[in-house]
Structure 1
């Protein structure tokens, strides 16, 4: 029983071996037909790769600007609000965050236009907010590099204009605040002057009523508001004239406020000297295209052509050798 089974297995193996050899021989005899299919596939692939639009990707890496790149902005903010209220690292972080948001908005706009453009921005190092990697896909290596540099500069100029507008708003607000403070201090000083004149005038009235024409005290520092009339009417009249012509007296805060006002009025930031980023790696000129991959495309086409050609040869031989069973 076992002997018969072994013979059966060997018979099946011989049959399978003969079938494989037969298939190989059929393919060999039809090699010219297979070659024709391969040539057709390669020609079609060649036409495809010559007509399809090439894609090249330029890459740049950026990070937050150096302190000097936004010095005009930070110095102006320090003049407006004081050095102690300006944190340079915080401003640098906020500026690059604003740049990233504006760049993402531009990328989305380009993606949704009638002729979409592939512009992206993402973290260069996974899990870290900085540095940022920006890419642009163009139809040539040079075009991709130039367009990426152009869009980075475009967003940089946009942020610089926004910072300039932000400064203008802060300057206007701070100037209004300082001018209101000066006006208040001037009003208080004028009221103090009027009150002083009024007090001296009242003392003069008392001195005349009391018939005090000459000073009745030796030390003027001992004179109070109630005893001011003891200076005499002649002295009090001179004091009134002096007080009326004397300029207003201000505290040190008034002059510090005035100096701050003048400093802020001289602020003239230049957006051209403001930059919202710093290059870690400038836009590259790619050496290899993303697509089409010519060698790979031709190779795949040749393999597909060979497979189709082999199938055609086997199908042709099967049809020729077909014998209907009756």
Structure 2
């Protein structure tokens, strides 16, 4: 019996709570309807002000490009030119050049130069017209702000390391234009850097070969003078001993007088006509051939540092401001403020009455 009574009492309490909630909801709706003017005015002012504000904000757009390592075929001419002189290079110089011109190294050098603040600084100062700077000299703050909008990020596509290049600017067209220009600027700079490194290494190897040739020339000249002096002394000895024809079973170590005056005179004549020092040092011919290859080597400006996966393009969506988000937040906040004002006005009216 007590459980039945308790159940009836709970039903009555639930009905009463439901009625109270209904009445509170109705009262709230009445308050909102009564203060609709304040709510509408607050929404119009807040949302209108927000729309004016967000449309006065500077727009920012980001153009993107994705690059990967160049193919062997793209730089086939350069590899062919290097292979032509590789046999003329000492091992350490050949290895150093091979390291510089590897596919990964070329792209890594480009990325390092792309991310260099000094290069960004130089590029920004050269683009004052596009960036709408009126003053001649840019402040460090302005340069730093624009430099922060030029970025490179490593990305992995199908487990292959690639790089995404970005440039943020005030319009969609400008961002694409600046990114393309900056890529070309860095490419030209990097190609010059790579070529200068290669030419420096070739020049260093060339200097080494020149030093080797100089040393061998000294040795060859010494050998030539020694041979002439020995022949001269041997001729004197043979003439003094009146040896005209070669002697059999006689052999001297230093002065071959046993050849006889006729043979020694012929030898002396031949030695006086030999001007090619490689006769005394055959290695000179090899070194001269190497030097000739290295001196005729020219840098290759048609160098591919990377290959495009995605070319620079105009962005379809701006980065900021997010106008829709601003307006939605403003609408929600203005409704809360408007309803609050409606409740405050209601309370004040009740106190006055």
Common fold: TM-score over 0.5? yes
Q: What residue number does 1:239 align with? A: 267
Shift of 1:148: 0.9
For residues 69 and 267 of structure 2, what CA distance do their matches in structure 1 show?
A: 64
Note closer, same or farther for the CA distance 1:108–1:244 as it changes in structure 2 (3 Å cut). closer
Contact conserved, 2:100 with 2:194, CA < 8 A, in 1?
Answer: no
Task: Tell me whether 1:294 sits opposite 2:294 in the alignment.
Answer: no
Equivalent residue, structure 2, for 1:306: 335
- 1:195 lines up with 2:226 in the alignment: yes
Structure 2 residue 308 is the aligned partner of structure 1 residue 274: no
Q: How does 1:141-160 map to 2 (within 5 A)?
A: 141-160=172-191
Cα shift at 1:146 = 0.7
Alignment check: 8 A CA contact 1:74 1:88 kept: no
Q: Distance in 1 between matches of 2:299 and 2:48?
A: 62
Determine the C-alpha separation between the residues in 1 that align with 2:76 and 2:345. Answer: 80
Structural RMSD (CA): 3.2
Q: How many residues align?
A: 320
Asked if the contact 2:199/2:299 (under 8 Å) is kept, the reply is no
Q: Distance in 2 between matches of 1:121 and 1:61?
A: 9
Tell me how far 1:151 sits from its aligned partner. Answer: 1.3
Bigger drift between 154-163 and 83-92 goes to: 83-92
Per-residue deviation at 1:5?
Answer: 5.2
Deviations 1:95-147 (A, max 9, x none): 21111111122399569742512111111217967210011111110011111
Alpha-carbon displacement from aligned partner over 1:193-252 (angstroms, at most 9, x marks no partner) = 22222332333243234331222349xxx9664683222123213322321222231555
SS of match in other structure, 2:290: helix
| Aligned equivalents of 2:118, 2:307: Cα separation in 1 | 19
CA distance in 2, matches of 1:163, 1:74: 13
Distance 1:12 1:226 in 2: 133
- Uncovered stretches (5+) of structure 1, i.e. residues with no partner: none
Q: Partner residue of 1:48? A: 53
TM-score normalized by the length of structure 1: 0.85
The reply on whether 1:30 has 2:38 as its aligned counterpart is no
Runs of 4+ with deviation above 6 angstroms? none
CA distance in 2, matches of 1:31, 1:269: 79
2-structure distance, mates of 1:315, 1:108: 60
CA distance in 2: counterparts of 1:227 and 1:268, whole angstroms = 51
Counterpart-to-counterpart distance in 1, 2:274 and 2:283: 20
How far, CA to CA, are the matches of 2:72 and 2:100 in structure 1?
8
3-state DSSP class of the match of 2:308?
strand
Q: Distance in 2 between matches of 1:223 and 1:264?
A: 46
Whole-angstrom distance in 1 between the partners of 2:71 and 2:215: 41
Structure 2 residue runs of 5 or longer lacking an equivalent are 125-139
What's the counterpart of residue 264 of structure 1?
A: 294
In 2: Cα distance, 1:227 partner to 1:251 partner: 21
Structure 1: distance between partners of 2:333 and 2:299: 65
TM-score normalized by the length of structure 2:
0.79
Could you say what secondary structure the match of 1:291 adopts? coil
In 2 relative to 1, CA 157–124 (structure 1 residues): closer, same or farther, beyond 3 Å? Answer: same
The answer on whether the counterparts of 1:34 and 1:310 sit within 8 Å (CA) in structure 2 is yes
